[in-house]
Amino acid sequence: MLIIIIIILVLVVIIYLYLIKAKSFNREHYKDFLDSFYAHRGLHQGRRIPENSLKAFHLALEKGYGIELDVRLTKDGVPVVFHDDDLKRMCGIDKDVIELSYEEIKALRLYDTDERIPHLQEVLDLVDGKVPLIVELKIFDDEKNQCKIIAPCLDRYKGVYCIESFNPRVLIWYKKHRPHVIRGQLATKNVYDNPNLKERLINLLLRNLMLNFLTEPDFIAYNYKYSHFFSFTLCRLVYRPLTIAYTITSQKQLDRYRKRFQLFIFENFTPR
């Protein structure tokens, strides 16, 4: 009986390690991304310089920082750079981005500034390969069609970029259709704040990196607040993948987590 229990436990451990497997860090593979700090949604400054605005990206370029940005689609399938599902916080409009056409989106302004929601191509033209990009794909359904729209725009970009997403199906699509593009699994304690049963299961799997065996991520982008979680710690120690911390807000935090992460996405301070 004891032998059976031991065998079962060993099998469970083997399966668990298989589920959380990630690619090991290779400096040559990631050389273009190393030695940079990444400005979260650009180098924004509250309501004066809005996040994910051309002005915030321009300022990050001036300081030589890499840039993290968010991409989602409008109603008519145009890729724009914007974080939230809805427009209420940034534009004061009680609508979702997906409910408006690009022409309607262009008419809006971020906070009370002259900045507007940029087209992805506008941002790529601005950056023009000057710094590396981390592009988060805000895709939570219809992954196949949405990836087919966004990927060609990124294909034409000559600069250095990688993609990341909370949605493992996005990474699976990229693994199959763009295997040369570096892809990262985003993870945190809860992706869904008020989850139903299905979403609770997704939260559990994602925060424990238990879909890595399907996505085969090149890196793990993890909420630094939960980097003590067992699955992240085990994945980091056993497989030694590239790890990216988000979102660091002070030099003290950055220094504290240097041993757990190689790269850092930051905001609201000047990292060193």
What is the CATH number for 150?
3.20.20.190
The number of distinct structural domains making up the chain is 1
In a domain, 18, yes or no: no
pLDDT of residue 39: 98
pLDDT of residue 199: 86
In a domain, 14, yes or no: no
In a domain, 23, yes or no: no
Look up the domain containing 212 and give its range: 28-266
In a domain, 131, yes or no: yes
CA atoms of 140 and 167, how far apart (whole Å)? 6
In a domain, 106, yes or no: yes
The rounded radius of gyration (Å) of the Cα atoms in the chain is 19
pTM: 0.95
Element (H, E) at 169: helix 168-177
pLDDT of residue 98: 96
pLDDT of residue 195: 81
pLDDT of residue 237: 96
In a domain, 71, yes or no: yes
Residues with Cβ within 8 Å of residue 162, at least 6 apart in sequence: 33, 132, 133, 134, 135, 181, 182, 183, 184, 218, 219
Over residues 220-272, the pLDDT tens digits come to 999 999 999 999 999 999 999 999 999 999 999 999 999 999 999 999 999 99
In 3D space, the residue among 228, 218, 208, 118 whose CA is nearest the CA of residue 165 turns out to be: 218
pLDDT of residue 86: 97
pLDDT of residue 198: 85
In a domain, 20, yes or no: no
pLDDT of residue 191: 86
- The residues of the chain scoring below 50 in pLDDT are none
What mean pLDDT value characterizes the chain?
A: 96
In a domain, 168, yes or no: yes
Which tokens go with 246?
A: 């988000």
